[in-house]
Amino acid sequence: MQPSIASTMIPISPDGSADVPADVLIVEDDPIIAIDFEDRLLGFGVKRVRTAGSVAQALAAIEARAPDFALLDVELGREKSFAVADRLAAAQIPFVFVTGYGAEVRIAPEFKMRPRLQKPCPSDALEAALRMRGA
């Protein structure tokens, strides 16, 4: 069973609003989808959004500066984003998989319990994932 985005809550800040990560990495090979995610994340209060269209670009971006959170498209052309997920998990950086495929997408066994967003994802689901840090 796929974990629910709403299964874990993060602390509320003193002003009553949930904090959003300052720096988010989007790993998405479709530039239009990446721009859509970027616009919405900035609208939620994220200060910096970086995008990578391949595993190599994502790994380089993480090496240059670790993000606070990441959105990972599972299918990146002919490659899958599991090497990026491995790097993020090793660094204890929260992330959520996003996919245009339903249950038929094959998630590596070590990541089966990670939250997943279905593309196109509604803004409220994206914001919930962001605020809960994919926990």
Tokens of 3: 């974990």
pLDDT at 102: 67
Predicted local distance difference test score (pLDDT) of residue 101: 76
User: What is the pLDDT averaged over residues 61-86?
Assistant: 96
103 — pLDDT class (breaks 50, 70, 90): low
Range of the domain at 86: 21-132
Place of tokens 């002003």: 15
Q: What CATH number is associated with residue 121?
A: 3.40.50.2300
Choose between 13 and 114: higher pLDDT: 114
CA distance 56 to 22: 23
The whole-number pLDDT of residue 3 equals 45
Q: What pLDDT, on a 0 to 100 scale, did the predictor assign at position 2?
A: 47
Residue 9 domain-assigned?
Answer: no
Looking at the chain, the whole-number percentage of residues with pLDDT higher than 90 is 66
Q: What is the DSSP letter of 5?
A: G
Q: Is residue 10 part of a domain?
A: no
Range of lowest pLDDT (26-35, 82-91, 93-102)? 93-102
CA distances from 53 to 9, 76, 93 (A): 30, 7, 19
Asked if the structure places residue 123 within a domain, the reply is yes
Distances 106 to 25, 65, 74, 102, 111 between C-alpha atoms, Å:
22, 29, 9, 10, 10
Sign of CA dihedral 6, 14, 91, 120: positive
Structural domain includes residue 69: yes
Mean pLDDT of the chain: 85
Does 6 fall in a domain? no
Strand partners, 115: none
Cα torsion at 115, 68, 86, 58 (round to 10°)?
110
Examine residue 108 and state whether it is found in any structural domain, yes or no.
yes
Residues in the chain: 135
Residue 4 lies in a domain: no
Is residue 122 included in any domain, yes or no?
yes
Total count of domains within the chain: 1
Whether the model pTM is above 0.85: no
5-58 pLDDT tens trace: 433 333 334 333 458 999 999 999 999 999 999 999 999 999 999 999 999 999
